[in-house]
């Protein structure tokens, strides 16, 4: 079962910061995380139930660095819509 350790990072890009103003948080997780398990993590650790969760699977790319071929890790990206007026202070920029 997925838990809080499967959340890799909260994404702070130009697009995600614009979404945070509308109450949407962008979360990068391990590929095994599901929408239901992410909702459960938000309920247990942050004390709120997301209104809506959208997911996006990002496949790892093959990259070349100094002639050596490597592979980036695959991950999932979730767009989590928080209820109106709800904020997570520890995630605010």
What is the DSSP code (8-state) at residue 91? Answer: G
User: Which stretches of 1-93 are assigned E, i.e. beta strand?
Assistant: 7-10, 24-29, 52-58, 62-65, 68-71, 75-81
Please state, as a whole number, how many other Cβ atoms lie within 10 Å of the Cβ of residue 42: 22
CA distance 93 to 90: 8
Q: Give the 3-state secondary structure percentages of the chain, helix then strand then coil, rounded to 5.
A: 25, 35, 40
Domain boundaries, the chain: 4-84
The pLDDT score that the predictor gives to residue 68 is: 95
Residue 93 pLDDT level (bands cut at 50, 70, 90):
low
pLDDT tens-digit map of 56-78:
999 999 999 999 999 999 999 99
The pLDDT score that the predictor gives to residue 88 is: 72
pLDDT tens-digit map of 14-49:
999 899 888 899 999 999 999 999 999 988 888 889
- Tokens standing for 68? 């050596």
Give CATH for domain 4-84: 3.30.70.330
Using an 8 Å Cβ cutoff, are 42 and 50 in contact? yes
Residue 90 pLDDT level (bands cut at 50, 70, 90):
low
Q: With the CA atoms of 44, 48, 51 and 54 taken in that order, what torsion angle do they form, in degrees rounded to the nearest 10? A: -40
The pLDDT score that the predictor gives to residue 85 is: 74
The pLDDT score that the predictor gives to residue 89 is: 65
């Amino acid at each position: 079962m997925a838990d809080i350790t499967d959340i890799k990072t909260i994404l702070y890009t130009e697009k995600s910061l614009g979404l945070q103003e509308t109450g949407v948080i962008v979360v990068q997780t391990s590929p095994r995380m599901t929408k239901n398990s992410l909702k459960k993590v938000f309920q247990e650790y942050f004390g709120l139930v997301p209104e809506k969760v959208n997911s996006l699977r990002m496949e790892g790319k093959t990259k070349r660095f100094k002639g050596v071929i490597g592979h980036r890790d695959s991950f999932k990206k979730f767009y989590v819509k928080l209820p109106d007026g709800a904020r997570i202070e520890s995630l605010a920029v």
